[in-house]
Amino acid sequence: MRFAEDAIQELVCTDGVNRPVHIWQGDVVDAVFVAVHGGMAHAGDWVQVGQYFKPLGYATVALDQHGHDGQKRVFIPSFDIFLDDLALLISWTKQQYPGKPIILLGHSMGGLIMTHYGLRRLTQPDAQILGFIQSSPYYVNAIKVPWIMEQLSGLLSAVTPGMAVPIADFTDELTHDPAITARHKQDAADNLRATEVSARFARELLNAQSYIPDNIGRWSHSLLTFIAGQDKLADSQATERLLARISPELVTVHSYPDNYHENFNETNREELFSIMHEWVQGQRHA
């Protein structure tokens, strides 16, 4: 398989469409990462995590999210469809791996999705979910959206929701690993990785981001976060300020000043993976 998956199954999503669930696992599974990819990406991007953790007894399962399943231009009806599909993926995971501890794992937009899920959907403790791990959560844009464009985005989303909106190409500034950068470019050429975003998608992300500042202080789950100091997409300093609003006993933050946006694809990723493994073991024995 293209991304070294051990299996690919299908999940019937909220809109009735079957979308692929990419699975990395060995013969023994002691815990499961439910992984949520970033904007314009795809589930195959979790290959580095999946391969590293497989011999350690972890399964990694990742869904090609709505609007990202082979689409050149990302379109979603609303941000909540990500939360609805994540709920379905978690239910599917519980059926596939009964009783196994689950860790929700998100990168970039996936971190934003997970944060909304933890605040708005996981309002009661779930004994099977150990906690959340995220990389470069997309809470605040690193490049500020001009005020006039932010105001216009609501109108464009309503009137021409599928229209493409201009975005910069940061492919060369996602990771210092040239092999992964080359893979990203090939994925885009093969329509596995989106290269455009719709007006609706852009507006829904802004709406989702605007929810975070007034609500993140209510966070009630164990959370491990990795922040990239050279992030060109997510504002790392804003992320640190927002995470500081969470009760300190719940959140652990590791910052890497030289990392680009994709911490889990960076050249120092195994250092992060080791921290993740140690953190998960600590949660299991807490």
Whole-model pTM? 0.96
- Per-residue pLDDT of 227-264, as tens digits, reads 999 999 999 999 999 999 999 999 999 999 999 999 99
- What distance in Å separates the CA atoms of residue 6 and residue 22, rounded to the nearest whole number? 8
Phi, psi of 32 (to 5 degrees): -130, 130
Higher pLDDT, 158 or 279: 279
- Per-residue pLDDT of 83-120, as tens digits, reads 999 999 999 999 999 999 999 999 999 999 999 999 99
CA distances for 130 relative to 141, 185, 239, angstroms: 29, 35, 22
Both tokens assigned to 112: 């934003």
CATH 3.40.50.1820 is the classification of domain 7-280: yes
End-to-end CA distance of the chain: 37
Confidence label for 146 from pLDDT (cuts 50, 70 and 90): low
Residue that has been written with the tokens 């990771």 in this structure:
175
Higher pLDDT, 125 or 143: 125
Phi, psi of 196 (to 5 degrees): -135, 155
